[in-house]
Structure 1
Amino acid sequence: MPRKLLTAIAVSTFLALLVSLVPTVPQRGSGGDIAAYRPVAPIVLSEQNLVDLFTMIPTHYNIKHVKWESRSLYVDIAVAPSERLTEQLLFQDVYSLLYRCFQLTRNVDHLFFRLLERDEGRSVKLLVAIQVDRPPGVFHFPPPEQMANPQQLINGVASKLRFEPAYEDKLSR
């Protein structure tokens, strides 16, 4: 009986020692480092996955229409005539769109953004139009959560900006 007990204790101690050494044995070729995450591969945007991209883009104002055509993405946001706009929130939405379109995709070369005023009678009035082209090289803008003044950056990178006089009337003051 004591011999079996002694053998069981010895085997248990040996197994515990063996198991404690397993995590310290490096894997071949890994150098000991293990990646905690994998970088996300850029999406090749198409009509089939257009909705997938826009489920990843939070906006303050509702996106009413999206069109994908010839490496260009067209995004319309429509507001009601009675709705007031906050300029900071609007430009956060535009920046979030351009950041994610250029960061998460590899085939969006142009982003066309329009802010429209649309009433129930289907009358449409253009308030703002912005065109942003993909910057050459690697995209290096800060994430939207870290962007303090998106309007300043958009003014600097937009190839075309158009603000209609009715836009000023829609702003909350």
Structure 2
Amino acid sequence: MLSSISHPSLSNEDAASADDLHDWLMSSRPLEWWAESASTAGGLPRWYTRLHSELLLLTTGDEVEAVFVTPNVEKFAAVVTVVSTHRLIFARVDAEEGSDSYEAHAISRRGVRDVRVEERFGLIGRDSRRDWPGDLTVIVDVAGLAEPLRFGPSPHTTVGARKPDMYAVLQSFLANLGANRSL
């Protein structure tokens, strides 16, 4: 599997962003496995190159803060949500061989109107070996979306792979919420 994404037309900054996004995406065991199993002659499958390219374009000018992949293993499909500095980017991809079912779009984080959190263990009386806040889930209501977004640890993360810092994700959305109230 490719460890680096390169192309002569990429600036150093764009190449670093491309590698960063690739690293986030390959942290998902199902995406990694689907991409490896469909690879030909060391290249990545079309669905992956398109997913990566369009997510890279939709994050232009922003820093990627976290990537969440929700796979449907039975259907070889996934929903990818990218949290960037100013946007939420959503992609649906069908990784089944021969399929070209795909869509991606971005929305502004200015629509954040409510942030909630679920933290399972609490701080008081917490085992000293367990970090606080630990694995938490962040729930965000965004204007224009029918359902709240849930961001949390994934059971589908590759061992030793990059994982979102959920406390940083929470702080980022809370900053959005505070900024939106002053508008």
Same fold (TM over 0.5): no
- Relative contact order, CA 8 A, sep 6+: which one is greater? 1
Max Rg structure: 1
TM-score when scaled to structure 1?
0.31
Which structure has greater strand proportion? 2
